[in-house]
Structure 1
Amino acid sequence: MATASSLLSEDKFLCSVCLDVFTKPVTTPCGHNFCSACIHKYWDGRDTCQCPLCKRIFSQRPELQVNTFVSELAAEFKTLVQVKASTPDPQLPGTADVLCDICSEMRENAVKSCLTCLVSFSEAHLEPHQRVAGLKCHVLLDPVKNFDDRMCKTHDKTTELYCRTDRAFVCVLCLKTDHKSHNVVPLEEEYEAAMAKRDEAMANIQKMTQSRYEKIAEVERSVYVSQAEAQKEKEASVQVFTAWRRQESL
């Protein structure tokens, strides 16, 4: 899987025939997984039943059953990808890499934007807002790309509040009209809530990812042990047969 901070490797859940995430995965006697429809269609078009990956030929067409374990893993993989895709961006609308409005020659990236001054500042030019008493009360946010989007079109004032009821940025005057009884919070509070939700979602994804890795590692170890045991049994059978032939020849 790609990463949602390291999602499972996607190729573990891709059918090598259709190159898509498994649908009703089945396992061949040689231990490889394919979509049920894909492997049967693959065999229907050939004279022999051969594994598309290792090229092992089966004397008879195997009766394959859906591998419920792989099926569950593939389903959870799809869920992880959907969660990752649907996780909201913690940045408020209109925020992005922004240049400082004060720098005159080589403009540096802004570290904060002031909704009171409607100006974006680099680290150096932000210093007065951290020192001067009259500027400390200004509302500072992560850099704002377009201040026009932060202006209330009705009252021509900066939108320092967020209406959770209507999911809209509003100004203080809006509270007296259309948003009077709505759930309205300061912009900074909504930003912090969005960040917390993002962190929680990513933590859940990482927890699910770790669990899937452990299951896959367990399956791989089981397959390796089974193959090793099968090889030992084969070697033991050969030794028994060889000893029997020797006795027969005496």
Structure 2
Amino acid sequence: MASNMLPEKQFYCPVCEQVFTDPVTTPCGHNFCQACIQSKWEGTDVCQCPACDRSFPSRPEISINIAFKELADTFKQMIVCSSAAPLSSAQPGEVVCDVCAATSLQVKALKSCLVCLTSYCESHLEPHKRVVTLKLHKLMEPVKNLQDRMCKKHERLLEMFCRDEQKCVCQFCTETEHRDHKVVSVQDESTERKVLIKKSEADFQEMIQERLKKGEEIKNCLKLSTVSGEMEVKESDRLFTSLIHTIKERETEVNAEIKEKQKAVERRAEELISELQQEITELQRRNTEMEELKNTEDHLHLLQHLPSITSPPPTKEWMEINIPPELCVGTVRRALSKVERTLMNEMENLKKEEMKRMQTYAGMHTFKCINK
């Protein structure tokens, strides 16, 4: 086994103090993680070995030590398998430990490091709790795509927000092309955006209540329309049963017409209620997303997703929409107007009754279905 071939300390990078990942060897014979030595030499004129301080006249060309990498990976698996804490396999959608993933293990990550840009399981997170320099790193709940949190131009963490251009930038950006712009930390901007979320929540909640109220108004209007239709049907039955057989067919036609109008009203009411419910559902969905964003510690996620949910979705102008409850009123009168003069007395009585009913509807302000 690897631990019998070399002392355990030989498998730890002297820079990050973790088991080697893609180990390379310098001309002076010392081993480092490839990413660690590259970060040490980046932006420097003189390349030195971090272990012995030996300087090289030109930047050495280094490549991964394949044999040593196999030993380090084997040792890394031994550490994971012998860990006192049981491994927690990552479920679909969960963040995977990047170190374990390098050895083909799918272990659930416990934290993500914004400095290392790496997600760690409990076992590989241990150096961040023990090593003084690693304790200074910023840890957060595990997230995917840590590279998206880096400035594509400077390869630095996106930790500032440019209010002039409404975008996240790194510290180098604030000293170059954004030098004269108004810039704040992403945390400060996130805090202010959360205040806006509260206002948007209140606005959306008000819109939801308005639509719930409108839905109740439509239901009440539908009830009135149903009662009105039923009254018209009863009235037509009373009148036509007293008439001669020659107008019996007309009675059937009138009833059918009334019922068809009532069905049209019901269909219309159902369509409106369905549209209202869709708008309510969309507003509730956005409200829920904003609630989640309000409570998140992931400031960048908040800034990237907030604009798409704070603007109100397309909605109807519901104040102009109504269902007239008296749609069927007058149907029987129009039918009787076509019969013989002998029905004039009944027509006059019916007309008076309709006028009285119309006045009743006009005085029912509680249901305000027309021109609220």
Q: Same fold (TM over 0.5)?
A: no
Task: Name the one with the larger helix percent.
Answer: 2
For the pair shown, the structure with the greater C-alpha radius of gyration is 2
* TM bracket, shorter-chain basis: 0.3 to 0.5
Larger relative contact order, structure 1 or 2 (CA cutoff 8 Å, min sep 6): 1
Q: TM-score, normalised by structure 1?
A: 0.44
